[in-house]
A = this chain, B = another copy of it.
Amino acid sequence: MTAGSLRDDLKTLPDTSPEVDRLVTEIISRVADKWTMLLIEILTERECCRFGELFRACEGISQKMLTQTLRAMERDGLVTRTVYPVVPPKVEYRLTDLGLGLSKAFCGVWHWAEAHFEQIEQARRDYAAKAENE
């Protein structure tokens, strides 16, 4: 496929109002951050997770960020948070249908990134090499 024909395909997408554009952009950048995506991935695979489980699965995250990210996802209707009134506390998270839909939509980007990350790394090396020769 050439750049030209691919672009023609893309051009046929429906135009949207600038207002919707802004909303959509805001939602995407809200949702397309590192931890949110990782959590969506984990919750897609595991169905239902406790806080500590997510904490261990999401290596590198701090408790603070995990709480914050989960709260934002709950607020946006992507996950449900179920608290069991027991001691020690037990809280379960799972994706809603909305969250699963997003997970599916992201698959395209995920696949693209998987298929092309070597190209990107090569581009970065080329760029660095070019910069060095100047």
Q: Using CB atoms and an 8 Å cutoff, list the residues of chain A in contact with chain B.
A: 2-3, 6-7, 9-11, 13, 16, 20-21, 23-29, 31-34, 37-38, 41, 44-45, 47, 74-77, 95-98, 100-114, 116-117, 119-124, 126-127
Instruction: Report the copy number of this chain in the oligomer.
Output: 2
Check A108–B108 contact: CB distance below 8 A.
yes
Q: Considering only CB atoms, which chain B residue lies closest to A26 in the complex?
A: B34
Nearest-neighbour CB distance to chain B for A30, whole angstroms, equals 9
The majority secondary structure among interface residues of chain A is helix
Max chain B C-beta neighbours (<10 A), residue from A24, A102, A122: A24
Given contacts A29-B34, A33-B29, contact A7 B100 (CB under 8 A): yes
Picked from B28, B75, B108, the residue with its CB within 8 Å of the CB of A32 is B28
CB atoms of A122 and B44 under 8 A apart: no
B28 near A110: Cβ-Cβ < 8 Å: yes
